[in-house]
């Protein structure tokens, strides 16, 4: 499954959360019935505080459907990533979804093959794989498609195998209507060499030295 063309939203430049309506659920939103539910292994999340906690908004006025939110975190080879997500996103009228999504597809959406309105993620250009999902072994099955590569959902664990570093992005797998409310509350743990990292352990962005322009004009 390839990545849909996307823009990115830096965690430090998310919508102005001083606005009362940002991240709030519209009154009267009720959960829609899930058509299919992921078969998931039980997991013990780390006892240490999360590396980061944040909100991932649906496609409200401030967040278009094709936006991946940069979490400000980076994972590298052999890191184990845990994500726990809760909350409700209202996606149309008074219909709502939890992080596993509706268990059916919808197009257009950010990742049309995955569960609609679910929490999805990638590390750099590598789609995350939820190792807690019990698969039936058939790569063509609807189960693998709905909850396959890119699906994060409500509980997630993944150990990075590639050697390169990857910035962690999350998003709500939604369409372009811009009528959502609510948010998914996300807790993220990155475990490296048996230790849960803190935000202070993340690589610092490189600051380019100012370019000095020499004035070669003769006087």
pLDDT level of residue 1 (50, 70, 90 thresholds):
very low
* DSSP code for 50: P
Query: Residue 72's pLDDT band (boundaries 50, 70, 90)?
Result: very high
| Residues 127 and 152: beta-carbon distance below 8 Å | no
pTM: 0.81
CA angle 201, 194, 42 (to 5 degrees): 110
What is the chain's alpha carbon radius of gyration, rounded to the nearest angstrom? 19
Residue 4 confidence class, pLDDT cut points 50, 70, 90: very low
CB atoms within 10 A of CB 61: 13
Average per-residue pLDDT for the chain: 80
Predicted confidence (pLDDT) per residue in 10-51, tens digit = 544 444 333 335 567 777 787 888 788 888 899 999 999 999
Whether the upstream peptide bond of residue 108 has omega within 30° of 0, thus cis, is yes
The closest of 8, 187, 184, 212 to 99, measured between CA atoms, is: 184
Three-state SS for 11? helix
Q: Where are the domains of the chain?
A: 21-41+49-201
Q: Which residue has 């995350």 as its token pair?
A: 128
Distance CA 84, CA 47 (A): 13
At residue 26, φ and ψ (nearest 5 deg) are -60, 145
| Assigned CATH topology for domain 21-41+49-201 | Jelly Rolls (2.60.120)
Q: What is the pLDDT of residue 62?
A: 56
What pLDDT does residue 163 have? 75
Q: Is the pLDDT of residue 130 over 90?
A: yes
DSSP for 184-201, written as a single string: EEEEEEEEETTEE--GGG
pLDDT digits (tens, 9 = 90+) for 152-192: 999 999 999 987 889 999 999 987 666 788 899 999 999 99
Q: What is the per-residue pLDDT across 89-119, written as a single tens digit (0 to 9) for each?
A: 988 778 899 999 999 998 888 899 999 999 9
Q: Which residue has the higher pLDDT, 6 or 115?
A: 115
The reply to whether omega before 90 is within 30° of 0 (cis) is: no
Contacts (Cβ under 8 Å, ≥6 apart) of 20: none
């Amino acid at each position: 499954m390839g990545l849909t063309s996307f823009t990115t939203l830096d965690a430090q430049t998310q919508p102005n959360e001083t606005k009362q309506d940002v991240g709030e659920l519209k009154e009267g939103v009720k959960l829609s019935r899930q058509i299919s539910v992921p078969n998931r292994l039980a997991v013990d999340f780390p006892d240490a505080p999360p590396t980061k906690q944040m909100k991932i908004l649906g496609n409200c006025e401030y967040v278009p459907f094709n936006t991946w939110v940069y979490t400000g975190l980076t994972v590298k080879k052999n890191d184990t990533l845990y994500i726990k997500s809760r909350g409700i996103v209202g996606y149309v009228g008074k219909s709502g979804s939890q992080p596993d999504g509706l268990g059916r597809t919808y197009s257009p959406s950010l990742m049309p093959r995955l569960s609609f309105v679910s929490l999805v993620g990638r590390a750099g250009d590598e789609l995350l794989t939820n190792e807690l999902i019990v698969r039936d072994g058939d790569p063509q099955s609807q189960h693998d498609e709905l909850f396959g590569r890119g699906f994060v959902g409500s509980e997630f664990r993944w150990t990075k195998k590639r050697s390169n570093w990857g910035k962690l992005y999350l998003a709500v797998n939604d369409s372009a209507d811009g009528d959502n409310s609510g948010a998914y509350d996300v807790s993220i743990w990155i475990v490296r060499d048996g230790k849960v990292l803190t935000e202070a352990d993340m690589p610092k962005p490189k600051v380019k030295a100012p370019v000095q322009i020499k004035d070669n004009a003769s006087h």
